[in-house]
Amino acid sequence: MLKTNAFMEAAFEEARAAGERGEVPIGAVIVHGNEIISRAGNETRALNDVSAHAEVLAIRRAAQVLSDERLIDADLYVTLEPCTMCAAAISFARIRRLYYAARDAKGGAVESGVRFYTQPTCHHAPEVYSGIRETEAADMLRDFFREKRD
């Protein structure tokens, strides 16, 4: 398995674990020096914190590991297109490359919505790679919300 695939698989593991905790099943990992230095799933309910999306938690944890709020040369893998809040946090953290699985037309902010990285008020844009295992990631979210409704 290619390293990139292994990193995305780790993000999927975090997403599944979040779903099992009753959180929206989205997961993220941050890679630095070819190793995973932080991982997180959504924890908005557990923490009563609207900012506790997987990406923001992974960024906060990676910053503790590197003792630097800027994550130079770090890459972020996440199972869903980041929302407007997370897209901006990824920019502020100076993430080098962003890999994500499914597109989020309703709440995303990279190829959807405000397309933050193309905006003049965005002062650092990561390289973006998307569509990796997108069907699987979208299905996981769809199943979660279907079960919640039932």
With a CB cutoff of 8 Å and minimum separation 6, the contacts of 133 are: 8, 12, 79, 101
Out of 107, 111, 131, 134, which residue is the one contacting its own copies (CB under 8 A)?
Answer: 107
We find the least distance from the C-beta atom of residue 29 to its own copies, in angstroms, to be 17
We find the least distance from the C-beta atom of residue 33 to its own copies, in angstroms, to be 18
Tell me the three state secondary structure of residue 7: helix
Nearer to its own copies, 29 or 58 (CB): 58
Cβ–Cβ under 8 Å, residues 15 and 25: yes
Does residue 4 touch its own copies according to CB under 8 A?
Answer: no
Does residue 59 touch its own copies according to CB under 8 A?
Answer: yes
Does residue 92 touch its own copies according to CB under 8 A?
Answer: yes
Cβ–Cβ under 8 Å, residues 76 and 94: no
Q: Which stretch binds its own copies (CB under 8 A): 6-14, 32-40, 87-95, 133-141?
A: 87-95
Does residue 130 touch its own copies according to CB under 8 A?
Answer: no
Rounded CA-CA distance 45/1 in Å is: 34
**In 21-83, which residue ranges form alpha helices assigned H by DSSP?**
44-47, 54-66
Beta bridge partners of 30: 38, 76
Rounded CA-CA distance 141/149 in Å is: 13
| Residue of 23, 43, 55, 81 with catalytic role | 55
55 among known catalytic residues: yes
Nearer to its own copies, 8 or 43 (CB): 43
Query: Which residues are catalytically annotated?
Result: 55
Binding residues for Zn(2+): 53, 83, 86
